[in-house]
Amino acid sequence: MITTRLPMPGNGPRPERPRPVDSRPPHTPLRPTWCCRADGQPWPCGEARLLLRLEYDGNSAGLTIYLAGLMYEAMRDLYHLNPHDGPAPRTLFDRFVAWGASRRPAAHRRPDSP
């Protein structure tokens, strides 16, 4: 039996991306509901996804790390708001992380690629 507890992880990244492109409200999340500040859609909205892909062009690992950190923050907020009926972890993973890195299905990969 383990008698010590691990420390609680610290805060994830600040949700400040994608950066605004003009004077309109940025497509950043509005906490604690994690809706887009510009269009009210669940964040990351379609526009935020496009802007994040542009901002992280060539750095898919960086985008994945950023999105995973924000997923952690969203889980904290959303489960705190509704602890008994919050979104399923798989739903949040698909919403925040799965779309970020472009991956080929396993059937289409070359044997020497990851």
Q: Is residue 88 part of a domain?
A: yes
Q: Which residue has the tokens 């062009």?
A: 57
Note the pLDDT tens digit of each residue in 61-114.
999 999 999 999 999 999 999 888 889 999 999 999 999 876 555 555 555 555
Please check whether residue 35 lies inside any domain of the structure: yes
Q: Which residue has the higher pLDDT, 52 or 111?
A: 52
Q: Strand locations in the chain, DSSP E?
A: 29-30, 35-36
Q: Report yes or no on 7 lying in a domain.
A: no
* Residue 72 lies inside a defined structural domain of this protein: yes
The percentage of the chain sitting over the pLDDT mark of 70, rounded to a whole number, equals 75
- Does 96 fall in a domain? yes
Q: Which domain holds residue 96?
A: 29-100
Burial of 85 (0-12, 13-18, 19+ CB in 10 A): exposed
Number of domains the chain is built from: 1
Q: At what angle do helices 60-81 and 46-55 cross, to 10 degrees?
A: 140
Residue 37 CA to residue 52 CA, distance in Å, equals 15
Tell me, yes or no, whether 84 lies in a domain: yes
d(C-alpha 43, C-alpha 15), whole Å: 10
**Residue 95 located in a structural domain:** yes
Closest CA to 22 of 47, 57, 49: 47
